């Protein structure tokens, strides 16, 4: 059962603000897009299985069309050649969109401090939550996912139009 948003209650009525209702609905219906390139992807499969069951959070609908998803989950080693592809997927997602970097490789390049591996996906797209670990256990990913839910729940409806957000995107060369 989902808690109702903050507001005023009385006999026979409940009043709250529009952004709290939108935040509540968004946070409990996040559609993830898994961008998995290596071992962390296997851990993601465990996350989606019946034992950990991400569908308990309203996110059983994993999508592979960026246009239908609002959470990009990047898991695995991202080669520098793959960087532009991650960015392209991100660009194809509609706002509002969030990004979770799962595991050491996606967050920082992990143990692969080499000429060919991107040292963190935040070099190509803005990241909202980093989940450490090699690989992180599904519990850690659930914790990261709940941090995303917190962000989604509390995000102002105007954030995406703010100068700060536009500047953030511009710093990544995104208009
Ligand atoms: S963080 Fe570890 S488990 Fe995850 S993709 Fe990198 S090497 Fe594999």
174 near 86, Cβ under 8 Å?
no
pLDDT of the residue at 69? 95
pLDDT band at 45 (very low <50, low <70, confident <90, very high): very high
pTM as predicted: 0.92
Closest-CA residue to 24 (of 67, 69, 58, 54): 58
Q: Is residue 37 within 6 Å of ligand 1 at its C-beta?
A: no
Residue 111 lies in a domain: yes
Residue 20 lies in a domain: no
pLDDT in tens, 53-94: 999 999 988 999 999 999 999 999 999 999 999 999 999 999
Which domain does 167 fall in, by range?
26-171
As a three-state string, the secondary structure of the chain is CCCCCCCEEECCEEECCHHHHHHHHHHCCCCEEEEECCCHHHHHHHHHCCCCCHHHHCCCCCCCCHHHCCEEEEECCCEHHHHHHHHHHHHHCCCCCEEEEEHHHHHHCCCCCCCCECCCHHHCCCCCEEECCCCCCHHHHHHHHHHHHHHHHHCCCCHHHCHHHHHHHHHCCCC
Residue 21 lies in a domain: no
Residue 14 lies in a domain: no
pLDDT in tens, 86-133: 999 999 999 999 999 999 999 999 999 999 999 999 999 999 999 999
Residue 2 lies in a domain: no
Residue 13 lies in a domain: no
Residue labelled with tokens 């507001």: 7
Ligand 1, pocket-test mutation among 134, 140, 141, most atoms within 8 A of CB: 134
pLDDT band at 3 (very low <50, low <70, confident <90, very high): confident
Considering its fold, how many domains does the chain have in total? 1
- Residue 49: CATH number of its domain: 3.40.50.12280
Residue 162 lies in a domain: yes
* Percentage, residues of the chain above pLDDT 90: 82
Ligand 1 centroid, distance to 49 Cα (angstroms): 19
Ligand 1, pocket-test mutation among 34, 82, 101, 104, most atoms within 8 A of CB: 104
pLDDT in tens, 17-26: 898 899 999 9
Ligand 1 atom 5 nearest Cα: 76
Spatial separation of the C-alpha atoms in residues 87 and 173, rounded to whole Å: 10
Ligand 1 atom 6 nearest Cα: 105
Residue 7 lies in a domain: no
């Amino acid at each position: 059962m989902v808690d109702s948003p903050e507001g005023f209650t009385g006999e026979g009525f409940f009043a709250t603000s529009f952004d709290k209702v939108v935040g509540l609905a968004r946070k409990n219906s996040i559609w993830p897009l898994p961008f998995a390139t290596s071992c962390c992807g296997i851990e993601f499969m465990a996350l989606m299985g019946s034992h950990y069951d991400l569908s308990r959070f309203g996110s059983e609908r994993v999508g592979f069309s960026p246009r239908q998803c609002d959470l990009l989950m990047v898991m695995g080693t991202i080669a520098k050649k793959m960087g532009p592809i991650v960015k392209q997927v991100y660009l194809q997602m509609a706002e509002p969109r969030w990004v979770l970097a799962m595991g050491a490789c996606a967050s920082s390049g992990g143990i692969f401090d080499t000429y060919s591996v991107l040292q963190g996906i935040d070099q190509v797209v803005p990241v909202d939550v980093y989940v450490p670990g090699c690989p992180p256990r599904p519990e850690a990913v659930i914790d990261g996912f709940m941090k995303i839910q917190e962000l989604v729940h509390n995000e102002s409806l105007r954030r995406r139009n703010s100068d700060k957000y536009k500047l953030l995107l511009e710093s990544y060369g995104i208009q």
